[in-house]
Amino acid sequence: MSIFSSADITRFTLQGEEDFAQKCKCISTRLVIPIVAGTSTYTLSDTILSIQQITYKGTRIDPCGQRELRDAQLSGTQSGRPYQYIYNNIGQLKVQLFPVPDENIPDTSTNLYKSPDIETFCILEAWRTPDGSSFVIPSYIRRRLLKAYVMKELYSIEGKGQNLKSAKYWTEMHEKLSEDYKQLLNDLHNKPRNLNHGFDLRQTFKKAPPVLPRGRFGIGVDY
């Protein structure tokens, strides 16, 4: 009989995945914001960690602070096609579109990564929390990272399976893997690619001097 229950293992697995996703945002999603004419403020899903971008019928709308809106002497009640969204001083997990939409756009989407949906809906692209099945951290880091997290938590539980020495080992292992994987993801997804060779090809490879075909170097002369 196992010392640790499967319920604890499952709980710590999801907990470890959420912990990493909070520290290093790496799970992206797209959602439709159903637009109602005359309504400017919309509540987002509680799975959203931060907004990457919002597009309105295929056009990106820019983030704007509440103070910038006031400095521009705008009331925020003008209606029309939105070109900005307010992200602060409106409550948690809420965005305010400006100008206020003057049309209804219900969510009847099928594929938010292709046309015609991109040109039809108001789409939120954001970092989100994992759910352990459909939305998970990248597979090439998931197994080792979550194993370290689960082991450190299991060995820390009071009872027959408690082993503080092992818990310390797996805690240090988890911290190391977390830092390594955060750096890896940053390099893979955020670091600019070097598309240049880094040296001048014209200086490295010079054209060879022209050579006449063999046997045609002129007429031989006896001295």
In tens, the pLDDT along 91-150 reads 888 999 999 999 999 999 999 999 999 999 999 999 999 999 999 999 999 999 999 999
pLDDT tens for each residue of 35-84: 999 999 999 999 999 999 999 999 999 998 888 877 776 777 889 999 99
Q: Is residue 116 part of a domain?
A: yes
**Reported pTM:** 0.77
State the chain's mean pLDDT as an integer: 87
Q: Coil, strand, or helix at residue 163?
A: coil
Same domain, 17 and 35: no
pLDDT value, residue 205: 56
What percent of the chain has pLDDT above 90?
A: 66
Q: Is residue 223 part of a domain?
A: no
Same domain, 156 and 176: yes
Same domain, 107 and 158: no
Same domain, 34 and 119: yes
The total domain count for the chain is 2
Q: Is residue 181 part of a domain?
A: yes
Nearest C-alpha neighbor of 138 from the set 187, 175, 173, 171: 187
Same domain, 77 and 110: yes
Same domain, 91 and 139: no
Q: Helices 139-154 and 6-23 meet at what angle, rounded to 10?
A: 120
Same domain, 107 and 56: yes
Decide: 68 and 86 in contact? Cβ < 8 Å.
Answer: no
Same domain, 10 and 32: no
The contacts of residue 131 (CB under 8 Å, 6+ apart) are 47
Domain final position from 102, 128, 154: 128
Same domain, 16 and 35: no
User: What residue numbers bound the domain in which 169 lies?
Assistant: 6-22+135-189
Same domain, 140 and 170: yes
Quote the CA–CA distance of 101 and 56 in Å, as a whole number. 10
Same domain, 55 and 109: yes
